[in-house]
Amino acid sequence: MVRMILVSRRDEVSMAVGRRLIESFGFREEGEGLYMREGILLYIIDRSHLEADSVGEGLGAELVVVASVHRSEAGVKALLTHPTGNWGEEAEYGGRPHTLSATSAKALYTALHALKEEADRLGLKDWRVGMEATHHGPRTDAPLIYVEAGGRPGEKPDEKAVEAVAAACLAAAEGGVETPEAVVGFGGTHYAPTFTRLALRGDYAVGHICPKYAMPVDPKMVRQAFEKTVERPRKALIDWKGVPSEPKHRLVETLNQLGIPWEKV
């Protein structure tokens, strides 16, 4: 079993993170596009990471951490982590319709806290640190998370932000952090402020997050969110003010039918 950090040559931030890992964190070349450090594989691919379906499966990867750019049309500078998958019929940015990838609440929690620590250490005071809802590809059965940095489209990678992402990718891949109870989140906006706050406070490790724009959510997708989080969460958190009334009623009904405890947050 191996843990992998995935870098794409088609992503400028991703490649900058890869270079920082090689130059500053002791990864050694093992072959074309392959570098190793203490059981962690740094894998550089030519295609977009959004298209890297099934990545890590052939190696039996315990975890895949994708280093990526983040783009905000509003120009918000952000350091982010999130799981992948498509809640509905659209799969415009990779993956498959109505399909979530496997993920790890522990890895997401570790990456989030590492991003916050690095942002504080490096003085990235005007950068948002947080989680995003589950979205886009690739689709994989190997547990996968994204760790991202960026802002307005077209901006060059910020060196300090690249360093923060590199450190967070490595922290997630090393996986040595103790984490609180794993949960699945429902509701709120794409940038998941409620679930970010709870995770940063140390209350929960949040796996898949279904935002309000993806609701109402199919019961099969609710089941996927729990089954495809490797820690197998036993509880759902509902951002109570962040879900409209009718989808909220349907969600609660689904959770009750599935026998999944839930809590308002």
192-248: per-residue pLDDT in tens?
A: 999 999 999 999 999 999 999 999 999 999 999 999 999 999 999 999 999 999 999
Q: Model confidence over 175-194: pLDDT tens digits? A: 978 899 999 999 999 999 99
Q: How confident is the model at residue 86 (pLDDT cuts 50, 70, 90)?
A: very high
Q: Is the pTM of this model over 0.95?
A: yes
* Structure-token pair, residue 257: 């039918």
User: Which domains are assigned to the chain?
Assistant: 3-174 (3.40.630.50), 182-264 (3.40.50.10700)
For residue 101, what pLDDT band results from cuts at 50, 70 and 90? very high
- pLDDT recorded at residue 111: 98
> At 134, is the pLDDT very low, low, confident or very high (cuts 50, 70, 90)?
very high
Give the 3-state secondary structure of the chain. Answer: CCEEEEEECCCHHHHHHHHHHHHHCCCEEEECCEEEECCEEEEEECCCHHHCCCCCCCCCCCEEEEEEECCCCCCCCEEEEECCEECCCCCCCCCCCCEECCECHHHHHHHHHHHHHHHHHHCCCCCEEEECCCCCCCCCCCCEEEEEEECCCCCCCCHHHHHHHHHHHHHHHHCCCCCCCEEEEECCCCCCHHHHHHHHCCCCEEEEEECHHHCCCCHHHHHHHHHCECCCCCCEEECHHHCCHHHHHHHHHHHHHHCCCEEEC
| d(C-alpha 47, C-alpha 45), whole Å | 6
Smallest CA-to-CA distance from 171 within 133, 121, 222, 217 is with: 121
Read off the tokens for 225. 């969110």
pLDDT tens digits, 44-84: 999 999 999 999 999 999 999 999 999 887 778 999 999 99
Which sign does the torsion angle of CA 143, 193, 99, 96 carry?
negative
- Please state, for a pLDDT cut of 70, what percent of the chain lies above it: 100
pLDDT for res 151 = 84
pLDDT at 2: 92
